[in-house]
Amino acid sequence: MVNTEFFKGLTAENKESALHYNDNGYMILRNFISTDDADKINNEIEKLMQNGTLKFIYGGKLMFAIHHSEIIKNIGNNKNLLDFLSVLLDGQAKLFQSINFINGSQQKTHSDSIHMTTYPLGGLLGVWIALEDVDETNGALHYIPGSHKLPYFLNSDYENEGDALRIGKKSYRAYEEFLDGKVKELGLKKEIFRAKKGDMLIWHANILHGGEPHTDKNKTRKSLVYHFFDENSVCYHEVTQRPALFQL
């Protein structure tokens, strides 16, 4: 990690966070993009929504803007960033998707590996960039430091296994309830990411995280998410036991 050009270019504060990635399961890189670039992204997203190119799906998500915006694509495909993420993955990082949010996801605590699963496990990284200031009032992210070291909780852990013809019968809520019980059982404590415009969070495939309630409806929570797979991994969706869908 420390020998990558990306790491060498970080501030002392950001280097310190990166060096604790293995212990924490995440790192915070302050001022990763400029406020001007954040504004450019927000303006592009607004235009893409106005002309109908991007529409909300899956509960407020704007999917795959990387295929319509040069600035969003270029940030995610930056060679130095990919080289750095490849070290974290111990593989070869490949940009898989982008998701833009206008408001907070308010998603309950989860591991990305229940949605975007890999074989072998751990071949995924998430990157979240604040496109405006975010705190508890407008749906800040939360995460549980060190939770990436827990076992990967998959269908078999909450009795949702299917067979060759049928998927498991339980709903996603059953997974959320199972995980909530585990968090309480283990006495795990979440932390809130109070982000400034341009800050970036990188997280491990198995870290438990989610979105806080978006209580101030007069505020937006504009943000950009990238997901990266190790290109040598097999990618699938654990809940439905189906292959991951890529948009080329």
Please write down the HEC assignment for all residues of 201-212. Answer: EEEECCCCEEEC
CB distance 179 to 153 below 8 Å: yes
**237 versus 55: which is more confidently predicted?**
55
Question: What is the residue whose two structure tokens read 């929504």?
Answer: 49
pLDDT at 67 over 90: yes
CA distance 32 to 11: 10
Q: What pLDDT, in 10s, does the model give residues 145-202?
A: 999 999 999 776 666 544 443 444 467 888 899 999 999 999 999 999 999 999 999 9
Domains of the chain: 15-240 (2.60.120.620)
Phi, psi values for residue 115, rounded to 5°: -100, -50
CB distance 203 to 122 below 8 Å: no
The residue ranges of DSSP E strands in the chain, in sequence order, are: 26-29, 61-63, 93-101, 117-119, 124-130, 141-143, 191-193, 200-204, 209-211, 223-230, 234-237, 242-243
Closest CA to 110 of 144, 70, 59: 144
Position 171 scores a pLDDT of 73
Position 162 scores a pLDDT of 46
Q: What percent of the chain has pLDDT over 90?
A: 83
Strands 93-101 and 117-119, by their bridges, are unpaired
Mean pLDDT of the chain: 92
Per-residue confidence band for 102, with pLDDT thresholds at 50, 70 and 90: very high
Indicate the pTM of the whole model: 0.92
Position 172 scores a pLDDT of 82
Position 174 scores a pLDDT of 87
